[in-house]
Amino acid sequence: MKSKKYSSFSEAIGVYFIFGIAFFSLILLVAPSLIVLIISFDTRAYLSFPPEGFTLSWYAKVFEKSELVEGFINSMQVGFTVTVLCILLGVPTALACARGRFRGTTALSVFVLIPHMVPGIVLGVAILFSGALVGVTPSIWLQSISITVFVLAVMVRTVQSRLLRLDPALEEAAANLRASSFQNLRTITLPLLMPAILAGAVFTFVEGFDNISVAIFTHGFHDRPLPIELLALVQFTSSPLVAAISGIQIILAILALIVVATTIGLDKVNE
Amino acid sequence: MTKAISNLKTKQPFFERLIDALLSGRGIWPAVPSLVVLIFVAVIPFIILLSLGFSNITISRGEIVSQTLTFDFLVNALTDPLYFTTFKRSLNLAISTTILCLIFGYPVAYLFIVGGKFTKRIILVLTIAPLLTSGIVRTYAWLVILGGRGVVNSTLLHLGVIEQPLRIMNTHWAVLIGMVQIHLPVMILPLIAVMSRHDSNLIEASENLGASRIGTLYTVILPLSSPGIGTGSALVFTLSYTTFVVPQILGGGNYLNAATMIYEQVVFSLEWSKGSVTSLILMITCLLVLVIIAIVTNYFSRWAKEQK
């Protein structure tokens, strides 16, 4: 940080006060996760701080609980389905929004965003009721398609904003060289869109895996996703078991973060 | 030559020719699959939700037997004091969360703008990482911190500040603290995105021209970041107004907000029409607040432009 002269004492206090809040907020962001990690190694069977011993038995117990393992597999499946559907539906939609020459491109972009603006819980209730009317019962597939509709906007917006910033001269040059639209898409546009698609994929996957608001009304009774299992577990038990699951999720999140940082770059995610 | 090219083109497989045909006109075709999905999985369900909210239905064996138009559920909801207090509580909680997130988030974004490369990296890691972990995990952390034998209580007991553990869990404060911490990254990221779009030379120029740092913050950075404040507030408000997880876990099941109310009506008491009306009220009040946020942001952006 560049050191700057402060014109007055009160000014220096003002700036350091702002920095002080910033540091406090940054600690607030990370401290709870660290505390959970510490608790997850505690030997006692109830939540207490500071821990009294060190054990990995809670981590072993996570894998002994079949509903948690199944929940994890279900959530992975939902996450993958949502991501694939969002790419298949979202990328062409973004192309139409950004490159289309038809009336109503703006209307289309707005329409696609609407389901994401609506509270997830309302979308969940609407889909549950409508499904019941036409005989579609909640299942892992209903959950996947519902979350897809909910987060499709994220993928469309990410890809679309990248498309709008691409140099149109590149595509025009390819077209002048008699590349077909397909060749143009495959060799010019898609490779340039890859970072945006990846960034969108990371967030749609996380949403598919972790979503509660839509999932709570649309998940199948027999194939329950991990967040629903966790919610029940957190409400009715108070052992460090959940801390161990949290520990696993935190490690997975760090891995995802490293993948994002090395493939897309952290600053690109937030554009 | 042209013949050779046209020969080449006819040799393309069907799939490629199809994509060619769809893309070359630059029409709406690529968006049609998602439009179909959105119509069937979002638009029609909303129409059905609306119709359920205004109809008296009799259900037998999971099927609707009769359906008649009625405004009873809406009238009941609007006159029921339970609804009033619940929605007031939700609104109060969401607005406090949004304001607190802004108070704690804005300095972080400011630090990001004036900070060096290392500071920027740390801030990005700390704000993006929580978004990759589950909301339940992050809420659970507060159970550990605020619980009867949690971090706060054991520290205070150890220091001798209190003799009995404080009852923080299952109160409004526990829910509010959890909400603010969980939604903080959602406020920080749009702020950073909007603020880093502007030329950092602006800040330097302002300071070189003799403006103080606080003066620069107030006259240059704050007006330019108003779209970020708008986006961040809108996101945090929507999420905290309609959240289900935090009140359920930190409020201990008896903290009723609009979302938990809907959940109880739909899942436990199976009152479809009541649940529909509550959902509709939630959605409309949420949209109203978003419109107000948009108008205020717009006003401030215009004001900021006039100041230049």
Report the alpha-carbon distance of residue A127 to residue A133 in Å, rounded.
10
- What pLDDT score does A167 carry? 77
- What pLDDT score does A1 carry? 43
Q: Does B33 score more than 60 pLDDT?
A: yes
Does A245 contact B137 at a Cβ distance shorter than 8 Å? yes
Confidence band of B28 (pLDDT split at 50, 70, 90): confident
Q: Does A142 score more than 90 pLDDT?
A: yes
Report the alpha-carbon distance of residue A251 to residue A239 in Å, rounded.
20
Q: Which residues of A touch B259 (CB under 8 A)?
A: 119, 121, 213
For chain A, the domain total comes to 1
Q: What angle in degrees, to the nearest 10, is found between the helix axes of B172-195 and B81-114?
A: 40
- What pLDDT score does A156 carry? 93
Average pLDDT of the segment spanning B115-131: 89
Residue of A26, A37, A2 whose CA lies nearest to A246: A37
C-beta of residue B182 within 8 angstroms of C-beta of residue B139: yes
Amino acid in the structure at residue A80? F
- What pLDDT score does B25 carry? 64
Backbone angles phi, psi at B60, to 5 degrees: -135, 130
Give the CA dihedral A155, A161, A164, A167, nearest 10 degrees: -100
Confidence band of A181 (pLDDT split at 50, 70, 90): confident
Q: Does B3 score more than 70 pLDDT?
A: no
Taking CA–CA distances from B33, the nearest residue in chain A reads: A89
Backbone angles phi, psi at B132, to 5 degrees: -90, -10
Please indicate, yes or no, if residue A3 is contained in any of the structural domains: no
Q: How far A80 CA sits from the closest chain B CA (Å)?
A: 15
Please indicate, yes or no, if residue A163 is contained in any of the structural domains: yes
The β-bridge partners of B63 are B60
C-beta of residue B55 within 8 angstroms of C-beta of residue A217: no
Q: Residue A96 sits in a domain of what CATH number?
A: 1.10.3720.10
ipTM score of complex: 0.86
Q: Which residues of A touch B23 (CB under 8 A)?
A: 95, 181-182, 185
Please indicate, yes or no, if residue A129 is contained in any of the structural domains: yes
Stretch (H or E) spanning B246: helix B245-250
Report the alpha-carbon distance of residue A200 to residue A155 in Å, rounded.
5
Does B184 contact A97 at a Cβ distance shorter than 8 Å? no
Average pLDDT, whole number, for chain B? 84
Q: Does B14 score more than 80 pLDDT?
A: no
Q: Does A2 score more than 50 pLDDT?
A: no
Please indicate, yes or no, if residue A51 is contained in any of the structural domains: no
Please report the domains of chain B, with CATH numbers, ordered by start residue.
13-69 (no CATH), 76-307 (1.10.3720.10)
- What pLDDT score does B59 carry? 64
Helices (H) and strands (E) in chain B, counts: 17, 2
Confidence band of B1 (pLDDT split at 50, 70, 90): very low
How far is the CA of B25 from the CAs of A99, A102, A152, B258, in angstroms? 10, 9, 24, 47
Average pLDDT of the segment spanning A195-209: 90
Average pLDDT of the segment spanning B86-111: 95
The answer to whether the Cα torsion of A187, A188, A190, A195 is positive or negative is: positive
Per cent of chain B over pLDDT 70 is: 89
Structure-model confidence comparison of residues A108 and A188, the more confident one: A108
C-beta of residue B192 within 8 angstroms of C-beta of residue B138: no
Q: Does A3 score more than 70 pLDDT?
A: no
Closest partner residue to A257 among B115, B125, B266, by Cβ? B125
Stretch (H or E) spanning B168: none
Q: What would the 3-class secondary structure string for B171-240 be?
A: CHHHHHHHHHHHHHHHHHHHHHHHHCCCCCHHHHHHHHCCCCHHHHHHHHHHHHCHHHHHHHHHHHHHHH
Q: What angle in degrees, to the nearest 10, is found between the helix axes of B81-114 and B117-132?
A: 150
- Secondary structure of residue A265 in the 3-state scheme: coil
Confidence band of B10 (pLDDT split at 50, 70, 90): low
**Sequence-distant (≥ 6) Cβ neighbours of residue A148 within 8 angstroms:** A81, A82, A85, A86, A89, A204, A208, B37, B41
Question: CB B125: neighbour CB atoms within 10 A?
Answer: 16
Please indicate, yes or no, if residue A177 is contained in any of the structural domains: yes
Angle B280-B63-A131 (CA atoms, 0-180°, nearest 5)?
50
Angle A49-B143-B238 (CA atoms, 0-180°, nearest 5)?
150
Q: Six-digit token pair at A111?
A: 């329409």
Q: Using the 8-state DSSP alphabet, how is residue A189 labeled?
A: I
C-beta of residue B131 within 8 angstroms of C-beta of residue A29: no
The β-bridge partners of B68 are B56
Confidence band of B221 (pLDDT split at 50, 70, 90): confident
Q: Which residues of B touch A126 (CB under 8 A)?
A: 42, 45-46, 48-49, 279
Please indicate, yes or no, if residue A260 is contained in any of the structural domains: yes
Q: What is the pLDDT of residues B248-257, one digit of tens each?
A: 889 877 788 8
Confidence band of B11 (pLDDT split at 50, 70, 90): low
Average pLDDT of the segment spanning A28-57: 83
Output the DSSP codes for A209-243: HH--TTHHHHS-SSS--HHHHHHHHHHH--STHHH
Confidence band of A14 (pLDDT split at 50, 70, 90): confident
Residue of B25, B262, B172, B194 whose CA lies nearest to A96: B25
Stretch (H or E) spanning A166: none
**Sequence-distant (≥ 6) Cβ neighbours of residue A219 within 8 angstroms:** A138, A139, A140, A143, A225, A228
Taking CA–CA distances from A15, the nearest residue in chain B reads: B214
A and B: number of Cβ contacts within 8 A: 310
Task: List all residues of chain B from 106 to 125 with a beta carbon under 8 Å from chain A.
Answer: 107-108, 110-111, 114-116, 119-125
Average pLDDT, whole number, for chain A? 86
The β-bridge partners of B66 are B58
Residue of B230, B216, B205, B233 whose CA lies nearest to B110: B216
- Secondary structure of residue B19 in the 3-state scheme: helix
- What pLDDT score does B293 carry? 94
Residue of B145, B98, B226 whose CA lies nearest to A37: B145
Q: How far B224 CA sits from the closest chain A CA (Å)?
A: 17
Please indicate, yes or no, if residue A21 is contained in any of the structural domains: no
Q: What is the pLDDT of residues B65-84, one digit of tens each?
A: 667 777 777 888 888 888 99
Average pLDDT of the segment spanning B200-221: 72
- What pLDDT score does A23 carry? 94
- What pLDDT score does B97 carry? 97
Buried b (16+ CB within 10 A) or exposed e, A7-43: eeeebbebbeebbebbeebbebbeebbebbbbbbbbe
**Sequence-distant (≥ 6) Cβ neighbours of residue A193 within 8 angstroms:** A91, A159, A162, A163, A166
- What pLDDT score does B277 carry? 92
Q: Six-digit token pair at B209?
A: 């021209």
The β-bridge partners of B60 are B63
Does A33 contact B133 at a Cβ distance shorter than 8 Å? yes
Please indicate, yes or no, if residue A254 is contained in any of the structural domains: yes
Q: What is the pLDDT of residues B195-209, one digit of tens each?
A: 887 766 767 777 777
**What residue spans of chain A are helical by DSSP H?**
9-39, 57-64, 66-99, 105-117, 120-134, 140-165, 168-176, 181-184, 190-210, 215-218, 226-236, 241-263, 266-269
Domain of A112?
A: 57-269
pTM recorded for the entire structure: 0.87
Angle B44-B50-B52 (CA atoms, 0-180°, nearest 5)?
100
C-beta of residue B89 within 8 angstroms of C-beta of residue B81: no
C-beta of residue A42 within 8 angstroms of C-beta of residue A52: yes
Average pLDDT of the segment spanning A217-246: 87
